[in-house]
Amino acid sequence: MNLPALVGQLGAAIPSGATVPGANSSFGFPLLSLIVWLPLVGALVILMLPNRSENDHGRIKNVALVFTFIPFFLTLIAVYVTVFIDLGVSYSGGFRYEENYNWLGVFGAQYHVGVDGISLPLVLLSTLLFFVATMASLNTKTRVKEYFFLLLVLDIGVTGVFTAMDLLLFFIFWEIELIPMFLLILIWGGKRRVYAAWKFLLYTIAASAALLLAILVLYFKGGAHTFDMTVLSQSHLAPALGGTLFWLFFLCFAIKLPVWPLHTWLPDAHVEAPTAMSVLLAGVLLKMGGYGMIRICVGFFPAAAKYYSLAILTLAVIGILWGGFAALAQDDMKRMVAYSSVSHMGFVLLGISALTPLALNGAVFQLFAHGIVTGSLFLLVGLVYDRAHTRSISELGGLAQRMPYLTVAWVIGALASVGLPGFVGFVAEFEIFLGSYGAHHIGTLLAVFGVVLSAGYLLWMLERVFFGPLKEAWAKLKDPTAIELFYMYGMLAIVFLTGVLPGKLTQLIDYAIAPLTQRLGGS
């Protein structure tokens, strides 16, 4: 069942006055639509399944696994073909796997999806993390059916955001994410879940309102009365209007990323969400903000981005240091990782503020890197919590003696998060610093201090939780099970591999960044 294709046929069958530019898919096979919409099929299947016994629960979980794995697998194929076969040969920038069908011709909205060097890594990231999150949710016991239904619906929204090339479609995917995540925190969260869920909801709704407003203004003032992102990105606006729109979009994405001082929903939501949802929040949902900033704020309004570069730099540096110091002070491991996210997302913003090819490349790379690394860290926190039933750093101690495999994984994860060479985070941060130093000397130097802070809080936490004398309460803890080890070390393997061999990925990103920076230079 392929809904968009149906829509396309229908759209073609309707004798409407609207013309469809480039109405045929370049690939013939609706790859991206499958990646985006297959989870919907899974969600509908789950809706039909009974939900009474353990057996039924097992079946629901299997369906969720299958329908998150297939999109991941399809994305792998797309990445493999693009990166290892076509890159530099038949592909040198631009959008791939495009599908463009008439959808709401009267209003100039199309069903238009495609990926380029910025979005392809993020699609890979999100399909991977959804598969991992499903695996990490296998021990869910309460309201299993609703949980996996919502997880799959969330999947549609997130992958959709990264593939949409029509601004209305982008907005709709952006919104699909809202309600499932709200309910996932509200129902399956920790003690303060109600507070955290409503806070998340209110912040996100505010962000959406800004986004919708900005889209509408752009639609009317852009001159073309279209929602096509490639067309809109070329629209010439008066500097004042461009600046206003830049900040409206920025407000929306800044809430999501999050940027200091709009970050306060994040620690609450991350801490109260169930483990798999924390992984997705930190790993994928924040990336929607970063992606939007690069694709829309920088891509559509290069002049404004350049003009306000210092203001953004300030926000970035404050965020990096604020998040770092706050992480240092936390006793809750999950809260600490949450604040480290604030700090690390500051690096993305730093890259965006510098606007050099290298820094922007690093920003995209950091989105990918942080997604995998921090996703892993939240998984690891969850594994500790499942066993010890506490995340308090001061209560834990000496866990290494009972859980060697988990400890090794933690050490690898923490070092990757610090940005040790050889891991994916290093590549990203190095690119960002190198790229932004030329533009902002002092700001970059201050930001580098954030790395020192991250070494501080992560290593200090490792020492207190895993090393030192074993506390008696933890004498009976056991190492993770086989499937937990599988996804845990699988993630870390990716962290290592992309860290050692980043070349292809940076080249891919570069093809998408180059046109952006060209426009920056020209304006």
Binding site for another protein (CB under 8 A): 3-4, 6-7, 10-11, 14, 16, 51, 102-107, 143, 145-146, 168, 171-172, 175-176, 178-179, 183, 186-187, 194, 201, 205-206, 209, 212-213, 216, 219-220
C-beta of 186: minimal distance to another protein in Å? 5
Cβ-based neighbour number of residue 142 at 10 Å: 8
C-beta of 60: minimal distance to another protein in Å? 12
C-beta of 71: minimal distance to another protein in Å? 18
DSSP-assigned beta bridge partners for residue 228: 166
The nearer residue to another protein, 172 or 477, going by C-beta atoms, is 172
C-beta of 31: minimal distance to another protein in Å? 19
The nearer residue to another protein, 46 or 83, going by C-beta atoms, is 46
C-beta of 111: minimal distance to another protein in Å? 8
User: What would the two tokens of residue 504 be?
Assistant: 């292809």
C-beta of 145: minimal distance to another protein in Å? 6
3-state secondary structure labels for all residues of 34-56? HHHHHHHHHHHHHHHCCCCCHHH
- The Cα 198–Cα 306 span in angstroms is 35
C-beta of 285: minimal distance to another protein in Å? 17
- The Cα 258–Cα 276 span in angstroms is 20
The nearer residue to another protein, 54 or 472, going by C-beta atoms, is 54
C-beta of 187: minimal distance to another protein in Å? 6
Eight-class DSSP state of 470? P
Using CB atoms within 10 Å of the CB of residue 339, give its burial: 0 to 12 exposed, 13 to 18 middle, 19+ buried: buried
C-beta of 322: minimal distance to another protein in Å? 28
In which element (H, E) is residue 211 found? helix 193-221
Judge contact between 368 and 125, C-beta under 8 A: yes
The nearer residue to another protein, 105 or 456, going by C-beta atoms, is 105
The nearer residue to another protein, 177 or 332, going by C-beta atoms, is 177
The nearer residue to another protein, 170 or 426, going by C-beta atoms, is 170
The amino acid at 171: F
C-beta of 133: minimal distance to another protein in Å? 21
Cβ-based neighbour number of residue 364 at 10 Å: 31
HSE, CB side, 13 Å, CA atoms: give it for residue 445: 2
Cβ neighbors of 199 (< 8 A, separation 6 or more) are 264, 265, 268, 269
- The Cα 340–Cα 429 span in angstroms is 14
Judge contact between 87 and 507, C-beta under 8 A: yes
User: What does residue 166 show for φ and ψ, rounded to 5 degrees?
Assistant: -120, 130
C-beta of 32: minimal distance to another protein in Å? 16
The nearer residue to another protein, 185 or 355, going by C-beta atoms, is 185
C-beta of 175: minimal distance to another protein in Å? 4
Kindly report the length of the chain.
Answer: 523
Angle at 184 between CA 178 and CA 189, to 5 degrees: 130
DSSP-assigned beta bridge partners for residue 87: 91
- Angle 424-437/357-388 helices, nearest 10 degrees? 140
The nearer residue to another protein, 145 or 519, going by C-beta atoms, is 145
Question: Hey, what long-range contacts does 417-421 have (CB within 8 A, 24 or more apart)?
Answer: 417/340, 417/344, 417/373, 417/374, 417/377, 417/454, 417/458, 418/451, 418/454, 418/455, 418/458, 418/459, 419/451, 419/454, 421/499
Integer distance in angstroms from the first to the last C-alpha of the chain? 46
